[in-house]
Every structure is written in C-alpha cells, then in structure tokens.
Amino acid sequence: MLFLWLYMFYSCAGSCAGLAARGSPTPPRAAPPLAALLPGEPGEESSLEEQRAAPDAAGPISSFFNGSGTKRLPQAIIIGVKKGGTRALLEFLRVHPDVRAVGAEPHFFDRNYERGLAWYRDLMPRTLEGQITMEKTPSYFVTKEAPARISSMSKGTKLIVVVRDPVTRAISDYTQTLSKKPDIPTFESLTFKNRTTGLIDTSWSAIQIGIYAKHLENWLLYFPIGQILFVSGERLISDPAGELGRVQDFLGLKRIITDKHFYFNKTKGFPCLKKAEGSSKPHCLGKTKGRTHPDIDQEVVQRLRDFYRPFNMKFYQMTGQDFGWD
C-alpha cells in the first residue's frame, strides 16, 4: 500500500508539473545565491530561524525516508574554557533530543579557518527542523581572532563558556600535561618568573587562560553580554541538573534534562549519565577526566589566589555572577 501511495504521489507530481508547463510557460528558476546555499557566510548575519528555513533544508518526506536532515552551521558554540568542564557539558547536552553536536573539537576558528565555512559545515551532524547544531572547542575563548570570525559567520550565534576556579583550573591543566610529559618542570617552577619576588609568569598558558576578564573583553567587542552564557564548572559537578536547566533555557529548549538523568560516581568524584545518547547504559567520562592532582605547595596556591583575585572580581562585575572563587 505504501509503495502504491508513493507511485501515485510521484506520478501526479510529474504529470501536474507537465500540465503546468504546457498551460503557461514558467521562466527558468534562478540559482540561489551563495549565502542561501551556505547560511552564515562571512559578512552575512544568519539567525536561527533563517538557518532552519534555508533552501537546502530537507523536506519532511525526504527526511522521513532517508533520516538525514540537513547539515547546518552551529547556532550555539561552547567556546571555553579548557579544563573547565566543557566535555561534561557537551555530553550532558547531547542527551537532549533537540541537540545535535560534533563529538570531536573542530578547532575551526583557531586552527582551520582557512579551510572555509563549507568545510566547517560539512563536519556538522545532520539536523531536522527544530534541532540545534552545536560544537565545542575550548581554545576559542583565548583565541584573539575567534570572536570576529564567529561574528562574521553569524552575529546571532549563542556562546557558552564553562568557567572554573582559575587556580584549580591551572593545576588541572598542568596535571593533564604531566600525564603526557612526565619530565616537565614542577608546577611551582612554571608558575613564577621569579619565585623570590613572587612575580607570576602570565605567559604560561595554564596561568593565562584563567585571566577570564581579559579574554572576555575581547568577546564583548563583537557580542553582547546577554548572548554569552557562563556556566559554573563547580556547579556542573555539584548540581548538574540545575546548570543544565540554565543552559536549556538559554538555548530556547524545553527542560528535558533533569535530576533523573544523573547519578554521582564516588570513585571519579563527578556526576555521570544514567543513559548516554543512543545508549541504554550508564556513561561516565573517560579515564582522562578526573585525574588526581599532584600536591602543590600551599604557599604557591595562595600566591596564585592573590594574583587572580582582582581579575576574578572584575569578571564577576562583567558577568553579573559571583562564582565564589577564593
């Protein structure tokens, strides 16, 4: 019966088109402009609604039969920060049926920009109408060129930044590097230009990333503060459902991800999903997450806290949020 219906549908479509052509000549259809074929071309503003209504969007019949949907440029990007909890946030968000995200970090706006938007869009998962395309690359937040480049793609892009106590973040960053390069100098020796004078080495990336206020100033040249959501890495651990509620609201999604999706893994020390995307089994982040931090000289930790304090205060003022780091 289904095949008979399809045969009648396409036969009618073909014959009706032929009758229309014989009844009144139809001028040739102009090819759509490049901006229409590739939503968000540099220099063009592309809203979420415009992207969803793009001419190359798959129709309901084709989407039903091939299940492919359409590849779109992301309407939301997790732009930072490294070792803040971005992987956890992305994995949690992917549970939502209206979120489709790239698993790997594309690094388009910092390392691969010369490849062009067509290359970038081809990395994206296919989405159906009403779904949001996302990606996450934490290094964007500290990349000077990234804000202008994302703005050129679409001024309406929603940005998410997962932030964490900058001292803890720096130690976590060092721990990750140490696991790959066991012979690197100690955390204490890398922290200072001169330990005797207590001068902090801000050229060390582990320290520099945590100066959030400095990096945010660059983003505010291209995006209003209301278009950036700041997620607490600490609350993502202590209250994942609460933080995910804020993220879902920010993205305009129904609050589907709730407490029922999480359980706390005491061994790892952070929440895990009871069921991951496309699976009926519990899922925790891999062994590269939740590494045990080395013991750091507490005097060094305190000097770092003193160093970051004025930057943290400014960040609280800029975002309107007190993250409680001290």
Instruction: Give the residue numbers of the binding site for 3'-phosphoadenylyl sulfate.
Output: 83-87, 164, 172, 289-293
HSE of 12, CA atoms in CB hemisphere, 13 A: 6
Q: Residue 227 CA to chain centroid, in angstroms?
A: 13
Query: Among 132, 130, 131, 135, which Cα is nearest to 120's?
Result: 135
**DSSP bridge partners of 273:** 262, 283
- Of the candidates 71, 82, 83, 158, the residue annotated as catalytic is 83
Q: Is 203 left (phi over 0), alpha (psi -120 to 50) or beta?
A: alpha
**DSSP bridge partners of 231:** 162
- Residues annotated as binding site? 83-87, 164, 172, 289-293
**Contact criterion met (CB below 8 Å) for 82 and 110:** no
254 is catalytic: no
Query: Among 299, 270, 85, 230, which Cα is nearest to 172's?
Result: 85
Question: What's 219-288 look like in SS3?
Answer: HCCCCCHHHEEEEEHHHHHHCHHHHHHHHHHHCCCCCCCCHHHEEEECCCCEEEECCCCCCCCCECCCCC
Which residue numbers are catalytic?
A: 83
